[in-house]
């Protein structure tokens, strides 16, 4: 089987079953195992001097380990490859978690705050309805790139070694890639490598959203917002999503009790948003997934013909 065929099966399997609770309540999810390894390395090595060198060494070890494990798993055959790939894609779980916020918002604001707290790291206790909606939609846009398009892209490029490399580095970035006193040096290598690995997928996600929403006339504004964004990659799908929905994203938010005045994305878009806009974002997630699957099948057809 070709990599494109394996990816197509994995995408369909993930979309159908997502992350079954009966399974992951009994065994550890691979992402959890990766996180445990990173946490242990952080506790043991992130102290004393030469933190940047230690962080580079940790990132190198994690990357080489991921490539090696991916190569070994590939030897188990196509069924194992499809299953591992499906486990490491996050389309259905992402759509479900974001939809849960919309459902909760229709019930009550306190319930919506609890629901959105499961998918974002910012303070949620005092969020307004619009802030809850923005948080959910921003998470949808960013994780569409990080959790769906990027893993699929790196599996298509490098099979299971490429996929495991991406997921490992992405997990490391989410755990130690912060620009604070503890991680500025130790997490530098993981953050930079994650930026590099997401360079193409983030822009590809943006292009798919723009194509599906026919918002090419706003391309210049998308570029400007993406370049102002705090992240070199997350701003691309967020800017595209904001314009696709005609809303404003980002802006001021609170982390650990402190307000951070981040730049607005599509500042002139509607700011008074709620459950309806979240549901539209979820619909766009599935449209992008369908387009991505179509592109994979097109690649497969071209490979079979030539």
One DSSP character per residue, 177-201 reads --SSTTTTTTTHHHHHHHHHHHHHH
pLDDT in tens, 157-188: 999 999 999 999 999 999 999 888 899 999 99
- Supply φ then ψ for residue 255, to 5 degrees: -125, 120
Q: Are 77 and 159 in contact (CB under 8 A)?
A: no
Query: 249 has which bridge partners?
Result: 265
Q: Give the residue carrying structure tokens 């991921």.
A: 66
pLDDT band at 204 (very low <50, low <70, confident <90, very high): very high
Query: Pick from 239, 212, 224, 205: which is nearest to 137 by CA?
Result: 239
CA 42 → CA 38, 67, 70, 176, 187, distances in Å?
Answer: 6, 21, 23, 8, 9
Is this structure's pTM higher than 0.85? yes
- What angle (nearest 5°) sits at the alpha carbon of residue 119, between those of residues 82 and 19? 25
Q: Report the distance separating Cα 35 and Cα 232, nearest Å.
A: 23
pLDDT in tens, 12-53: 999 999 888 777 777 788 888 999 999 999 999 999 999 999
Query: Pick from 267, 240, 11: which is nearest to 137 by CA?
Result: 240
- Supply φ then ψ for residue 198, to 5 degrees: -95, 0
């Amino acid at each position: 089987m070709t990599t494109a065929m394996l990816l197509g099966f994995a995408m369909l399997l993930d979309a159908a079953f997502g992350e079954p609770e009966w399974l992951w309540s009994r065994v550890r999810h691979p992402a959890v195992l990766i996180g445990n390894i990173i946490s242990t390395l952080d506790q043991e090595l992130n102290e004393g001097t030469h933190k940047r060198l230690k962080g580079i060494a940790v990132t190198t070890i994690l990357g080489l380990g991921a490539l090696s494990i991916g190569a070994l798993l590939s030897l188990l055959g196509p069924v194992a490859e499809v299953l591992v790939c499906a486990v490491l894609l996050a389309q259905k779980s992402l759509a479900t978690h974001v939809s849960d916020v919309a459902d909760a918002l229709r019930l009550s604001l306190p319930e919506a705050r609890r629901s959105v707290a499961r998918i974002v790291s910012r303070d949620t206790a005092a969020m307004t309805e619009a802030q809850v909606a923005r948080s959910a939609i921003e998470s949808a846009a960013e994780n569409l790139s990080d959790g769906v398009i990027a893993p699929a892209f790196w599996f298509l490029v490098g099979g299971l070694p490429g996929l495991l490399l991406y997921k490992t580095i992405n997990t490391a970035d989410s755990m130690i890639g912060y620009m604070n006193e503890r991680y500025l040096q130790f997490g530098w290598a993981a953050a930079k490598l994650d930026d590099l690995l997401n360079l193409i997928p983030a822009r590809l996600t943006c292009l798919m959203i723009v194509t599906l929403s026919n918002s090419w006339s706003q391309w210049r504004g998308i570029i400007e917002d993406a370049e102002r964004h705090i992240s070199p990659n997350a701003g691309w799908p967020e800017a595209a999503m904001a314009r696709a929905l005609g809303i404003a994203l980002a802006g001021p938010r609170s982390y650990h009790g402190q307000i951070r005045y981040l730049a607005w994305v599509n500042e002139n878009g509607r700011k008074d948003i709620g459950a309806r806009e979240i549901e539209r974002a979820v619909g766009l997630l599935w449209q992008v997934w369908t387009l991505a699957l179509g592109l994979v099948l097109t690649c497969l057809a071209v490979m079979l013909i030539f």
